[in-house]
A and B are shown apart, each in its own frame.
Chain A
Amino acid sequence: MVVLTYNEISWLWKVQPGLTYIHGANLLAGTFKYTAQYRNLETITDSYDLVINFNSGGILPNVYETKGKIEKMAKIIGKPLYDFHVNSDRTLCMIRNDKVTSMYENGFDLILFISHLTTHLYWVSYYGIYGKEPWKAEEHGYGCLI
């Protein structure tokens, strides 16, 4: 099970001050903000209210968007929620499960994870705003663990 260290929590407080680590529950909760740009596409500044639960049993935590923002985006552009890579259990599906270990080859890494989450949420925002993928997502299919 992943448990954040004091140094990781201190670092996180600097880069994502809207997120609070709840020790007893071993999760992060709050607002995740980012400004990002993929290649020469549009820069996007956005925020999501998240719960990031480290008691997932896997390398990566389970990430939930808690205010229905992604669901609203799906309704606006008339797409099903799974096109935004939200699983039926409401977890965000950030990567194919068979690719997790190659991306996180040394196990969970908070800095890498925050970067991964930023790029993932950029993808979600871009798809909701512009109605097209900024880069190709995986085909839908069974087996994603996060």
Chain B
Amino acid sequence: MMIKNWVRNTSTLEYKSYNVVQNVISFTNAIYSKGKGDETYDVIIRDFFNYWTNLIPDNDNRKGHFQIALARANKAVQYEKEGKHIEASEEWRKIFDSNLFPHSDKNEERENETNRFSTAARPWSF
């Protein structure tokens, strides 16, 4: 339902309802075949956009719409993890119909001490 809402809210996006359903099903079968586990729904929505952004070919005119939605969803997920519910809801309201998606009115005080770094070891694997 949420993905269909995104499609309806994105006027220039041509994405047939049948294909939306098919793509949601194939996404959940591929990534969440054992259920959502302890993952939150905002992350699952973000994962959906990420999954299809990487699968849709560059010449598909849906690609740009997926990329924009993914960028907004990434911001929303990060805001939510920082307790910035207002900013998170604003990002979601850019993706979904703002008349339907609620607007948060309060942020949460969280102690998120950010580790800022400029040098790091390079990961490896054999």
Contact = CB atoms under 8 A, between A and B. Distances in A.
A135 B121 CA distance: 9
Given A37-B114, A116-B120, A120-B123, 4 more contacts: A36-B114, A36-B116, A78-B55, A129-B50
Given A43-B78, A67-B37, A75-B31, A141 B126 contact: yes
Contacts of A85: 123-125
A109 B117 CA distance: 18
A39 B118 contact: yes
Given A67-B37, A76-B50, A38 B126 contact: no
B113 to A, nearest CB: 7
A35 B82 contact: yes
B101 interface: no
A77 B54 contact: yes
Interface of B: 30-31, 37, 47, 50-51, 54-55, 74, 78, 81-82, 112-118, 120-126
Give the interface SS of chain A, mostly helix, strand, loop or mixed: mixed
B123 A94 contact: yes
A103 B119 CA distance: 12
Contacts, number: 109
A76 B39 CA distance: 14
A44 interface: yes
Interface centre among A44, A86, A116 (most CB of B within 10 A): A44
How big is the A interface, by class? 35 or more
B126 A119 contact: no
Going nearest first, the 5 A-B pairs with the smallest beta carbon separation are A119-B120, A45-B81, A85-B123, A138-B124, A36-B115
Interface of A: 34-39, 42-46, 67, 72, 75-78, 82, 85-87, 93-96, 99, 103, 115-116, 118-120, 122-124, 129-131, 135-138, 140-144
A137 B78 contact: no
B84 to A, nearest CB: 11
B113 A35 contact: yes
Given A76-B31, A78-B55, A99 B121 contact: yes
A35 B115 CA distance: 6
A116 B121 contact: yes
Contact of A137 (B51, B113, B114, B122): B122
B82 A45 contact: yes
Contact of B115 (A34, A78, A138, A140): A34
Contact of B112 (A35, A77, A116): A35
B121 A72 contact: no
